[in-house]
Amino acid sequence: MVDSPGNLSHFDDPAAAEEWEAFVGPRRWPAYRPRFERIQRGEADAFHFPAALTQMFWMTYRGLYWDAAGVVIIWVALQLPVVAVERGFGGGWGDALGWLVNTAVFIGVGRRASYWYYREASAALAAVHKAGLSRPEMLAQLRRKGGTRPWTTAALFALYLAASLLLGPEREPAARAECAAPQAPER
């Protein structure tokens, strides 16, 4: 397995640290290095607030597309009981259960985000080492595979905005007309 502590170079080795830095990016490597060191030692990583607060945006920014898709699938699956409770018992119970589900996803992503990114980076490093490239080619390949992807995050934000506008609370014309029409006083 590529992400086990025994089969990766230690970060104190300048060559290995340079490879990891090439994948993560020179500006963010100082922040991720202690996280990755804890993960390599088999210790629990600290909560990752940026990933927890901006879940899908952070994951697409870091290129964790499959992990983002998995979180969306899990979140949608957890929302099904919320909808059932809301329909069966009313909005208050559904809102409470929805809050619990969203909190669980928030905590889950925050606790696992660094590991997912570490796993992605270690797989990329293993693949590049296996390819047998020269040192400059290897670093260039890691920079291409790693780093950040602002364009995918911008595309996701545009999709989110479009979905919010199309599927927002005023999607029913009858409800809009009811709200817009002046109400006659009751007699």
* pLDDT tens column, 40-61: 888 888 899 989 998 888 898 8
Question: 168 in a domain, yes or no?
Answer: no
- Residues 6 or more apart whose CB falls under 8 angstroms from that of 14 comprise none
Range of the domain at 56: 5-65+114-148
Question: 178 in a domain, yes or no?
Answer: no
Question: 108 in a domain, yes or no?
Answer: no
Instruction: Say if residue 117's pLDDT is above 60.
Output: yes
Rounded distance, CA 73 to CA 108, Å? Answer: 14
Contacts for 101-105: CB closer than 8 Å, 24+ residues apart: 101/75, 104/78, 105/55, 105/71, 105/74, 105/75, 105/78
| 123-148 mean pLDDT | 87
Question: 102 in a domain, yes or no?
Answer: no
The letter for the amino acid at 26 is P
pLDDT value of position 93: 74
Which one, of 32, 37, 31, lies nearest residue 13 by Cα?
37
Instruction: Say if residue 155's pLDDT is above 80.
Output: yes
Question: 79 in a domain, yes or no?
Answer: no
Domain count, the chain: 1
Question: 127 in a domain, yes or no?
Answer: yes
Question: 132 in a domain, yes or no?
Answer: yes
